[in-house]
Amino acid sequence: MVALLLILVLFGAFFFCEYLIYFPTILKCAWPKISHARGEEGIDGRSMDSTVRAMVLSDTHLLGAVGGHWFDKLRREWQMERAFQTALWLLRPEIVFILGDIFDEGKWSSQKHWEDDVRRFHRMFRHSTDTELVVLVGNHDIGFHYEMDWFKLQRFEKVFNASSTRIVTKKGVNFLLVNSVALHGDGCPICQSVEKELIKLSRDLNCSLQSSQSGGGLTDSCEGSQLYPPTSPIMLQHYPLYRVSDAGCTGLDAAPPEERHLLFREKYDVLSKEASQRLLQWFKPRLILSGHTHSGCEVLHDNKYPEVSVPSFSWRNRNNPSFILASVSPGSYALSKCFLPEESTVIGVYCSAGACLLLLILAHCMWMKGLLQCLSLCLLGKHKSL
């Protein structure tokens, strides 16, 4: 009987912590509703009901062969896999964006270790054909500016079958993906290539807006441009735009109070002022989503360009990971945050289960001790009567 109770406690704690806990937590999340007047239409005449359901997460940091302890790797990757698969099953997003730092050691991993990391990523973040997965590049994937090279960048782009700087269009919504690692502005070959592509995309978007406003006609300067839906883009990138610190950030997922006033370093913690201003001038995004800091923050640039920093998705970087649910139409958007189970909660459940096991074992031992004493007294009494 005691053995059965021990097994039930062990199995119950394991099943709850490794499977069940994700369901009630993620069930609290819901897609935000876009508020708009009935019959209102987007800029291009599309119905505002054509809403894209986008899930946005960041900084998964799959551990590599050099710095990753096997238990740390097992624990944190299982947490991310269960969280991601549960979120897909319950929320059914149409598109998922991961804002860079997919891997922890992509910047120095060998080809063999890189292939192993990629295999694990595809297993953890598997998805149906109904969901599109879009991955952005981060500094841990190809290295910081001084570490990146064409080999690492092209290796990353080949795995995810797409350029690191491009526009993804869905239901009339333009999602601009920016390789922010290459925005140092020092004229490096990759930097020049990325900036050239960004200038082209900016021209294409501006020409698309002009074409819509002029009834379909293109000016001579727009000849040969690729036309996109005439809406301001949602800009996604790994590095945040320039800000002094996280001093103005609040909320459960903000940086710890003792870290919020630490000054950010340009081109390392955030983009430079110059690169940030160029992006805002080129694209005039209606929303910026970024990662890198592992903490949440909301910033308004130039009093009109909102940016949301998305916290890390992994327990390795924070106790309370989360992701963003975005409902986006051609003319509007709404965001909500979805928190995952806290690692401290799971540890607490396991500790409670361990305490219960210890109490059961002690109670069993005391019961057995009492039983043995009783038997000894009975046997002694019989011996005396003889």
- pLDDT confidence of residue 377: 59
pLDDT tens digits for range 159-212: 998 888 999 999 999 999 999 999 988 888 999 999 999 999 999 999 998 887
Left if phi > 0, otherwise alpha if psi is -120 to 50, otherwise beta: which for 16? alpha
Q: Is 58:317 a contact under the CB 8 Å cutoff?
A: no
The CATH number of the structural domain formed by 1-29+50-213+222-348 is 3.60.21.10
Other residues' Cβ atoms within 10 Å of the Cβ of residue 167:
16
Q: State the pLDDT confidence band at 380, using cuts at 50, 70 and 90.
A: low
Residues 228-239 have a mean pLDDT of 95
CA angle, residues 87, 286, 335, in degrees to nearest 5: 25
- pLDDT confidence of residue 38: 37
Provide the residue count of the chain: 386
Distance CA(270)–CA(386), nearest Å, equals 91
As a dihedral over the C-alpha atoms of residue 338, residue 92, residue 129, residue 104, rounded to 10 degrees, the angle is: 10
Q: Is the pLDDT of residue 39 over 50?
A: no
Q: Is the pLDDT of residue 5 over 80?
A: no
Distance CA(312)–CA(333), nearest Å, equals 22
Q: For the chain, what is the radius of gyration of the CA atoms?
A: 27
Q: State the pLDDT confidence band at 335, using cuts at 50, 70 and 90.
A: very high
Residue 262 carries which side chain, given as an amino acid letter? L
Residue 137, token pair as written in the block: 């590049």
- pLDDT confidence of residue 195: 94
Residue 80 carries which side chain, given as an amino acid letter? M
Q: Which residues are registered as beta bridge partners of 170?
A: 173
- pLDDT confidence of residue 48: 46
HEC profile for the chain? CHHHHHHHHHHHHHHHHHHHCHHHHHHCCCCCCCCCCCCCECCCCCECCCCEEEEEEECCCECCCCCCCHHHHHHHHHHHHHHHHHHHHHHCCCEEEECCCCECCCCCCCHHHHHHHHHHHHHHCCCCCCCEEEECCCHHHHCCCCCCCHHHHHHHHHHCCCCCCEEEEECCEEEEEECHHHCCCCCCHHHHHHHHHHHHHHHHHHHHHHHHHCCCCCCHHHCCCCCCCCCCCEEEECCCCCCCCCCCCCCCCCCCCCCCCCCCCECCCECCHHHHHHHHHHHCCCEEEECCCCCCEEEEECCCEEEEECCECCCCCCCCCEEEEEEECCCCEEEEEEECCCHHHHHHHHHHHHHHHHHHHHHHHHHHHHHHHHHHHHHHHHHHHC
Q: Is the pLDDT of residue 322 over 80?
A: yes
- pLDDT confidence of residue 44: 47
Q: Is the pLDDT of residue 369 over 90?
A: no
Residues 59-87 have a mean pLDDT of 89
Q: Is the pLDDT of residue 383 over 60?
A: no
Q: Is the pLDDT of residue 374 over 70?
A: no
Cβ neighbours of residue 15 under 8 Å, at least 6 residues apart? none
Comparing 360 with 271, the larger pLDDT belongs to 271
The domain locations on the chain are 1-29+50-213+222-348
Choose among 341, 355, 294: nearest CA to 101.
294
Is 114 buried (19+), middle (13-18) or exposed (0-12) by CB count in 10 A? buried
pLDDT tens digits for range 286-316: 999 999 999 999 999 999 999 999 999 999 9
- pLDDT confidence of residue 7: 80
Q: Is the pLDDT of residue 43 over 50?
A: no
- pLDDT confidence of residue 375: 59
Distance CA(250)–CA(79), nearest Å, equals 26
Return phi, psi of residue 234, to 5°.
Answer: -90, 120
- pLDDT confidence of residue 379: 56
- pLDDT confidence of residue 314: 95
Residue 53 carries which side chain, given as an amino acid letter? R
CA 103 to chain centre: 12
- pLDDT confidence of residue 320: 95
Distance CA(166)–CA(158), nearest Å, equals 15
pTM of the model: 0.89
